[in-house]
Homo-oligomer: A and B are copies of this chain.
């Protein structure tokens, strides 16, 4: 059976010079994967006629579906629309529905409309227009030799709107008969990928050829992902879950979840399940843990709030930590982390409190600890879990890593320690 292949092309100099990070491609890949469509390549190219034309020629030779984002803005540096029009042998015409939509957007925003905004309503006469409910640049669908090319704006929420409203339903209809792909995940914490690999090598070696195992490492956590290809989704799922369970049993001490969820959502679900409220007292992570927790929809059902006591005085004033304790142990110490965790419970009226204090750059504290030292404590129900870590990387990486460890410790406290 022929498996459908898709290529994602992102257009724009800002991607090539690194001014922006491409988050669109990952989102598109996830969506297509759910439909059983493989992404065989992702390409970022310049916003020039030559680059767009050459890439389309070469990729249409291999792929069934080409998804293009970017290059559709109203300014002169955006050439994608006329280039696609030429490529498919059409000419630009005003589309009345798009024109009315663009005018409506400007009216609702109470803004005057410019000639260059009107140009957004011009589309190649050889394409099908895909409605962009969120913005002025319409999506465009071209068909050639049973292959399809779709062009969308690069603004993430506009692209997502067009994908959700038009592209995904269309692809679902068009390719109902395609090969199925099933993924199963195991999220582990605290053991490196080599050690996990060693422990499960007999299972890995015995996997049938249509099931692959991948190791997706991040600091302290490794996601194991099984991917199965085949024709019968139901059978694939049973088969993949069998191997998933076998692996999860083997490395049980390190398994956090069999669901494909971010750690903050796993923590949120554990809080909900235990009916506990969380409060945070952050120092070196600067609010990043609170940010992660509140990325989850409905987090107000288990999250009270956070005190980012960046300045030492805030630890005393707001959290009520004894200045003598700070003086005798140092602000970066287990004693202060524990006091912060307890204060987070008390001041924020939460069942479980997390405290974190550390030093992530030499200028941040008048403390003698080496850069990368961090103390994390979780408190609640009269019990305390505290750990010290030495992180080795740059400020941003250390912030990210400390946050992952903190989230894991909340989960550990909830499910293994105590409450």
Contacts and interface: CB of A to CB of B under 8 A. Distances in A.
- Residue from A58, A194, A318 with most neighbouring chain B CB atoms (10 Å): A194
Nearest to A393: B157
A76 interface: yes
Given A42-B15, A155-B217, A310 B318 contact: no
A213 B16 contact: no
A395 B297 contact: yes
Given A156-B397, A291-B286, A300-B365, A20 B26 contact: yes
Contact of A310 (B21, B300, B396): B300
- Residue from A39, A43, A285, A286 with most neighbouring chain B CB atoms (10 Å): A286
Contacts of A363: 297-298, 300-301
A348 interface: yes
Interface string A2-46: 000000000001111111111101111110010000111111111
B40 A51 contact: yes
Contacts of A197: 74-76, 116
A339 interface: no
A265 interface: no
A313 to B, nearest CB: 6
A405 to B, nearest CB: 16
Interface string A280-299: 10100111111101110111
A286 B297 contact: no
A287 B298 contact: no
A313 B349 contact: yes
A192 B297 CA distance: 30
A273 interface: no
A193 interface: yes
A218 to B, nearest CB: 8
A308 B306 contact: yes
Nearest to A350: B311
Given A310-B294, A397-B157, A73 B41 contact: no
Chain A, interface residues (CB within 8 Å), range: 35 or more
Contacts of A307: 305-308, 318
Contacts of A77: 212-215
Interface in A202-217: 204, 212-217
A215 B75 contact: yes
A16 B39 contact: yes
B294 A291 contact: no
- Residue from A13, A15, A19, A21 with most neighbouring chain B CB atoms (10 Å): A19
Given A287-B306, A291-B286, A291-B291, A41 B33 contact: no
A77 B195 CA distance: 15
Contacts of A179: none
Contacts of A44: 25, 41-43
Nearest to A311: B304
B294 A304 contact: no
Contact of A347 (B25, B33, B317): B317
Given A300-B363, A303-B311, 7 more contacts: A19-B223, A21-B23, A287-B291, A305-B310, A306-B308, A317-B348, A317-B349
Interface of A: 13-23, 25-30, 33, 38-46, 51, 58, 73-77, 111, 114, 116-117, 134, 155-157, 183, 192-195, 197-198, 204, 212-217, 223, 225, 227, 280, 282, 285-291, 293-295, 297-301, 303-311, 313-314, 317-318, 347-349, 361, 363-365, 392-397, 399
Q: List 10 A-B pairs, minimum CB-CB distance, nearest first.
A: A286-B294, A287-B290, A287-B287, A18-B29, A18-B26, A18-B30, A306-B308, A42-B44, A305-B314, A305-B310
8 contacts: A19-B30, A76-B213, A157-B394, A291-B291, A299-B310, A303-B310, A306-B308, A317-B348
